[in-house]
Amino acid sequence: MAEPTKDAVPADVTPNVSEVETVDAETPEEAVAAIEAPVERGEPILQVRNLVKHFPLTQGIIVKRQVGAVKAVDGISFDLYQGETLGIVGESGCGKSTVAKLLMTLEQATAGEVFYKGQDITKLSGRALKAVRRNIQMVFQDPYTSLNPRMTVGDIIGEPFEIHPEVAPRGDRRRKVQELLDVVGLNPEYINRYPHQFSGGQRQRIGIARGLALNPEIIICDEPVSALDVSVQAQVINLMEKLQDEFNLSYLFIAHDLSIVRHISDRVGVMYLGKMAEIGTDEQIYDHPTHPYTQALLSAVPVPDPEAREGRERIILTGDVPSPANPPSGCRFRTRCWKAQDKCAQEVPLLAIPERFAGEDTPAAHESACHFAEEKDVVHAA
């Protein structure tokens, strides 16, 4: 695959993320040992720095020529702390799911680093990478297509043990799978059933059990409840919160339902067109948003209270998200922003605490990538 090299990737300076303490492992044994080492609660477990993923666009059938790139993720940085839930929200096409795949090393990053306990996982291979993958697991969006219809539940949940036999010796697997079924609230006797015999919510529980099988430290949840019925969503969210306490997990929770994200997250990041627009604690983002995109997003969410529909101000964005193959210069949101000025077209706003709020002890003082960041009162769903 041709990787774009000429495209100068803008060095996105994010001053407010923690410093990475890298671990220089000489041998694979040392690398694995560092990966197995525990992390204190509240310490960063995953540090993402200037992560970039460009998918090349090619032309020609015999001689393939690169004519551009879809800039799915274009320089994002954030930390995930041990034991916390970081929510990532944004519209479709903003690169949320690509971030998830990069963190799982299912995709190779074009540039940037992902430090897991001080080691850059984009450069790991062999045993060390395998050890990392054991510790970072994923729960997928669609419980109908992410389970193999020809495998029994026992085989699906037990499959991770085939790759990592050290977690459960062969003779012990059946018991282990039954334990997992019990943990996620399914009857352990269902071990020989097939996925089609379960409802959507039950299937998502199977997907969660598979994610838990290897005792991971991080679970990346890519829209885990959006395919489920309203009355079942709450059940799965409760289960995920219970499991987080029980197994001391860190979640990266990707979703587009803002009220669910607020409920489950400690911190929330808002993505727009491959960039992080704003990041902060749930209170900072939902009650004191300073980026116009976050404000528009929050105001667009329908409030489940008919009393609110009269007096509330709604920011209705015009147009669609621009193509990530040809994003606008400067601030990517400027084409739909009501505050846009010349400066926005020329300078890329950095993700930093806005100067006007710097040093102040207000909830508005959190990282926001806007030249004209200011608070705006928006009524919203959560």
Partner 1 sequence: MTITEKTADVPAPRSGEEKSGRLLDVKDLHVEFHTRDGVVKAVNGVNYSVDAGETLAVLGESGSGKSVTAQAIMGILDMPPGKIPQGEIIFRGQDMLKMSNEERRKIRGRKIAMIFQDALSSLNPVLSVGYQLGEMFRVHEGLSRKEAKAKAIELMDRVKIPAAKERVSDYPHQFSGGMRQRIMIAMALALEPDLIIADEPTTALDVTVQAQVMDLLADLQREYNMGLILITHDLGVVADVADKIAVMYAGRIVETAPVHELYKRPAHPYTRGLLDSIPRLDQKGQELYAIKGLPPNLLKIPSGCAFNPRCPKAQDICRTEVPPLVPVTERDGAELAGRGSACHFWKETIHG
Integer angstrom CA distances of residue 361 from 212, 356, 366: 40, 12, 10
Can you give 31-68 as a three-state secondary structure string?
Answer: HHHHHHCCCCCCCEEEEEEEEEEEEEEEECCCCCEEEE
Query: Which listed residue (307, 342, 355, 361) binds partner 1 by CB under 8 A?
Result: 307
Asked whether position 238 contacts partner 1 by CB under 8 A, the answer is: yes
Asked whether position 92 contacts partner 1 by CB under 8 A, the answer is: yes
Measured from the CB atom, is 176 or 263 closer to partner 1? 263
The residue behind tokens 């992080």 is 276
Do 61 and 102 meet the contact criterion of CB atoms below 8 Å apart? no
> What phi and psi values does residue 155 have, to the nearest 5 degrees?
-70, -40
Q: Three-class SS of residue 117?
A: coil
Do 167 and 215 meet the contact criterion of CB atoms below 8 Å apart? yes
Amino acid present at 272: Y
Query: Which listed residue (23, 34, 234, 348) binds partner 1 by CB under 8 A?
Result: 234
Length of the chain equals: 382
User: What is the nearest approach in angstroms of partner 1 to the Cβ of residue 302?
Assistant: 3
Provide CB contacts within 8 A for 296, sequence distance 6+: 315, 316, 317, 336
Asked whether position 282 contacts partner 1 by CB under 8 A, the answer is: yes
User: What is the nearest approach in angstroms of partner 1 to the Cβ of residue 317?
Assistant: 5
Contacts with partner 1 by CB under 8 A: the residue count is 41
The region of 119-127, 159-167, 259-267, 355-363 touching partner 1 under the rule CB under 8 A is: 259-267
Asked whether position 246 contacts partner 1 by CB under 8 A, the answer is: no
Measured from the CB atom, is 215 or 248 closer to partner 1? 248
The residue behind tokens 């039950």 is 202
User: What is the nearest approach in angstroms of partner 1 to the Cβ of residue 132?
Assistant: 30
Measured from the CB atom, is 192 or 231 closer to partner 1? 231
Q: How far is CA 67 from the centre of its chain?
A: 29
* Joined tokens for residue 135: 């510790």
Asked whether position 317 contacts partner 1 by CB under 8 A, the answer is: yes
Asked whether position 263 contacts partner 1 by CB under 8 A, the answer is: yes
Asked whether position 30 contacts partner 1 by CB under 8 A, the answer is: no
Measured from the CB atom, is 164 or 263 closer to partner 1? 263
The residue behind tokens 């992410």 is 146
Give me the 186-215 binding string for partner 1, x by CB under 8 A, dash otherwise.
-------------x-xx-------------
Asked whether position 232 contacts partner 1 by CB under 8 A, the answer is: yes
Measured from the CB atom, is 73 or 297 closer to partner 1? 297
Measured from the CB atom, is 215 or 281 closer to partner 1? 281
The region of 72-80, 135-143, 163-171, 256-264 touching partner 1 under the rule CB under 8 A is: 256-264
Asked whether position 63 contacts partner 1 by CB under 8 A, the answer is: no
The residue behind tokens 């991080």 is 218
**Interface positions, 157-176, toward partner 1 (CB under 8 A):** none
* Joined tokens for residue 7: 């495209």
Asked whether position 16 contacts partner 1 by CB under 8 A, the answer is: no
Asked whether position 381 contacts partner 1 by CB under 8 A, the answer is: yes
Asked whether position 41 contacts partner 1 by CB under 8 A, the answer is: no
State how far the Cα of 114 lies from the Cα of 78, in Å rounded to an integer: 10
Q: Kind of pairing, strands 136-139 and 275-281?
A: unpaired
Query: Which listed residue (42, 126, 165, 302) binds partner 1 by CB under 8 A?
Result: 302
User: Could you tell me which of 274, 241, 242 has the C-alpha nearest to residue 260?
Assistant: 241
Integer angstrom CA distances of residue 371 from 278, 333, 337, 374: 12, 11, 12, 9
**Interface positions, 334-353, toward partner 1 (CB under 8 A):** none
Give 3-state DSSP helix, strand, coil % of the chain, rounded to 5: 35, 20, 45
Provide CB contacts within 8 A for 154, sequence distance 6+: 174, 177, 191, 192
Residue ranges that bind partner 1, judged by CB under 8 A: 91-92, 199, 201-202, 229-235, 237-238, 241, 256, 258-260, 262-263, 282, 296-297, 300-309, 314, 316-318, 320, 381-382
